[in-house]
Structure 1
Amino acid sequence: MKAGIVGLPNVGKSTLFNALTSSKAAQSANYPFCTIEPNEGIVSVPDDRLRRISVHIVPKKLVPTALKLVDIAGIVKGASEGLGLGNKFLSHIREVDAILQVVRCFEDPDVVHVAGAVNPVSDIETIEIELMLADIQTLDNALPRAERTAKGGDKEAKQRVDVIRKCLDHLATDEPLRKLTLDESDAKAISSYGLMTAKPVLYVANVDESDLEGEGPLVQQVREFAAKTGASVVPVCAKLEAEIAELDEADRAEMLASSGLQQPALATLTREAYRVLGLHSYFTAGEKEVRAWTIPIAATAPQAAGVIHTDFEKGFIRAEVYTLNDLETYRSEKEIRQAGRLRVEGKNYVMQDGDICHFLFSN
């Protein structure tokens, strides 16, 4: 699973990407399309539960889970028709699982806005329109092929034709596909098309240092827009976060304190991106390591075990599960077991966020 960072040129996408991935590369020049090929990076997902577990089960190391990010070049009006190398950039968005749209919410005469003025809602709508137009093109191109196959009696093709038409009708109302409810079977029928407006979105309001909490009028416009679609907004000062990411631990803490921040805003952003992707974590804990593992929400115990090793899923017998609250109450696995708080779960168990597990399996 990976998230793509998108937005108009010069809104701070690459600065944010460098901060998230702690890149110390030189800042890109201040002009559109400075990012040509998408940069990919891995960012750890901050989770204080790792530290809390390690208080009682002391490991040699802590291993957080991680998120893959893709920095995609700026999209401009007309991208769906190929402007600004649009088709190439749009193809990169088709390959990600969620979209982090960076929206400029700061004024700076030294940073050129591609549209000539800072208007966050207009920026969002520009991107949304281009993605909808591109999705319409994709579906228009796919429909004749699906119709030809359906004439031969192929049931899957018939279903695909119906879903394509349903999607085109919805897009004709100027609404993105993420607002169209499809059942699992219908969604699977068109999953290969990589429809961009069907992907979940998180809006990243790039603010200046005078509005770190995102309380200014520009961010409020983004919040109001997002509320209509059920999306979330995270305010981030990409410039400040990039500076913080360059510092060592001691200087970082000092700069956070001087800025009135308890933690980098990137921590909040990363956790929210993780949630938007439909992911959560479970933990394994021992003397060697305390590790967070990434699983889709609603994953079963065998599926979770398979993340560690495919043999664990194939030979799954049962899972021994307890919670962090149990650990903090009883202070050791031995005491949890003696108190009858260690649960034994089978193949149908749906994993809960924060479960601490041991898996038993046969070879």
Structure 2
Amino acid sequence: MKAGIVGLPNVGKSTLFNALTSSKAAQSANYPFCTIEPNEGIVSVPDDRLRRISKHIVPKKLVPTALKLVDIAGIVKGASEGEGLGNQFLSHIREVDAILQVVRCFEDPDIVHVAGAVNPVSDIETVEIELMLADIQTLENALPKAERAAKGGDKDAVLRASGIRKCMTQLAANEPLRKLKLDPMEDKAISSFGLLTAKPILYVANVDETDLGGTGPLVIQVREFAAKVGASVVPVCAKLEAEIAELDEADRAEMLTAAGVAEPALPVLAREAYRVLGLQSYFTAGEKEVRAWPVPVGATAPQAAGVIHTDFEKGFIRAEVYTLEDLETYKSEKEIRQAGKLRVEGKSYVMKDGDICHFLFNT
């Protein structure tokens, strides 16, 4: 899954991206935080359940889930019409599954705000307007073709045209598409458009070192706005994260203690982005590895098996499932089985966050 980091110029977006993707804070041999391309990086999603499982099933390695981050060109007013790097930002953001908008919540006379004054809610609205305008343009361009095909009896085109009209009505009311509930078939019919305001969003409040908890007046404005639109807020000090990223473990712990912070912002941000994407984790555990696998909330056991390999889903027979609590109580899979706590689940089983599984399948 992929999340795009967006924001106005000079809000700390690239500073944060560079800190996250070059961080030594949670590097491992399995999923190092690394830059893939100049504007893309992979980060692992920290999960203490891996460590807890490995206390009882000792593996050669731990493998967390991974999230791809994309640093998208700074958005300016008029970006939807090609201002700044508008076309570049549009092409990149259409490919992501969720949006992380970095919002400036700090004052610094040495860093000029593009609008002349720090106003986080205005910044959020500027970005939202540009995304909405881009969506309107996409839909207006697509509607005539869909209507022509619909008149010819193309059933998919009928759904596409209906979905487009509903989206245009929503945007005309100055409401983003993430608030619109389409019929699932209509939603599928327009999914190829990559509509920007339909993507889930998380606000990242970039604070200074005097407001690491995000309780200052600028962050409060963002929290109040986010509450109205059903979004979440994660306060981050990009400057501090950049400094932490350069340290080894001992020095990092010392700096965090001095700053009064329990952990770097990265784990918090990664976990919240994972949640915003509608994902949860299940685990497989053995001597080779203990591994977390991402699966959408509501996925069935065969769909979860398909995350490992498509053949597992096609040939799914059943899943053997137990919980971390079972493992910590009985100490081994053998004891779990003997205690009758190992559940056998079929094709209709809906996965729960934290399930530990073995899948049986035919090839």
On whether the aligned pair clears a TM of 0.5, the verdict is yes
Deviation at 1:175, TM superposition (A): 0.8
CA distance in 2, matches of 1:311, 1:153: 36
CA distance in 1, matches of 2:77, 2:264: 33
Residue in 1 aligned with 2:213? 213
Tell me: CA distance 1:38–1:4, structure 2 relative to 1, closer, same or farther (3 Å): farther
CA distance in 2, matches of 1:189, 1:149: 13
Residue in 2 aligned with 1:269? 269
CA distance in 2, matches of 1:208, 1:236: 8
**Deviation string for 1:228-267 (max 9, x for gaps)?**
1100000000110111121111111111111111111111
Equivalences for 1:86-235 in 2 at 5 Å?
86-235=86-235
Equivalences for 1:42-57 in 2 at 5 Å?
42-57=42-57
CA distance in 2, matches of 1:52, 1:92: 38
CA distance in 2, matches of 1:86, 1:38: 18
CA distance in 2, matches of 1:151, 1:66: 45
Q: Does 1:285 align with 2:298?
A: no
Residue in 2 aligned with 1:296? 296
Deviation at 1:85, TM superposition (A): 2.2
Residue in 2 aligned with 1:322? 322
CA distance in 2, matches of 1:3, 1:192: 17
One-letter amino acid of the structure 2 residue matched with residue 232 of structure 1: S
CA distance in 2, matches of 1:270, 1:23: 13
Residue in 2 aligned with 1:356? 356
CA distance in 2, matches of 1:96, 1:183: 22
CA distance in 1, matches of 2:175, 2:313: 40
CA distance in 1, matches of 2:96, 2:38: 11
| Aligned residue-pair number | 351
CA distance in 2, matches of 1:306, 1:157: 30
Equivalences for 1:236-255 in 2 at 5 Å?
236-255=236-255
Residue in 1 aligned with 2:70? 70
CA distance in 2, matches of 1:325, 1:294: 20
Residue in 2 aligned with 1:346? 346
One-letter amino acid of the structure 1 residue matched with residue 362 of structure 2: S
One-letter amino acid of the structure 2 residue matched with residue 193 of structure 1: F
Gaps of at least 5 residues in structure 2 are 25-36
Point out 4+ residue stretches in structure 1 off by more than 2 angstroms: none
Alignment partner of 1:298: what SS? coil
Tell me: CA distance 1:297–1:38, structure 2 relative to 1, closer, same or farther (3 Å): farther
One-letter amino acid of the structure 2 residue matched with residue 331 of structure 1: K
One-letter amino acid of the structure 2 residue matched with residue 222 of structure 1: V
Deviation at 1:136, TM superposition (A): 0.4
CA distance in 2, matches of 1:200, 1:49: 26
CA distance in 2, matches of 1:308, 1:169: 40
Deviation at 1:38, TM superposition (A): 6.5
One-letter amino acid of the structure 1 residue matched with residue 107 of structure 2: E
Conserved in 2, the CA contact under 8 Å of 1:207 and 1:237? yes
Tell me: CA distance 1:139–1:38, structure 2 relative to 1, closer, same or farther (3 Å): farther
Alignment partner of 1:306: what SS? helix
Deviation at 1:23, TM superposition (A): 5.6
Conserved in 2, the CA contact under 8 Å of 1:324 and 1:355? yes
Conserved in 1, the CA contact under 8 Å of 2:63 and 2:289? yes
Conserved in 2, the CA contact under 8 Å of 1:203 and 1:231? yes
Gaps of at least 5 residues in structure 1 are 25-36
TM-score of the aligned structures, taking structure 2 as reference length: 0.95
Conserved in 2, the CA contact under 8 Å of 1:38 and 1:92? no
CA distance in 2, matches of 1:88, 1:73: 7
Deviation at 1:304, TM superposition (A): 1.2
One-letter amino acid of the structure 2 residue matched with residue 17 of structure 1: F
TM-score of the aligned structures, taking structure 1 as reference length: 0.95
**Deviation string for 1:181-227 (max 9, x for gaps)?**
11211111110111000000000000001000000000000000000
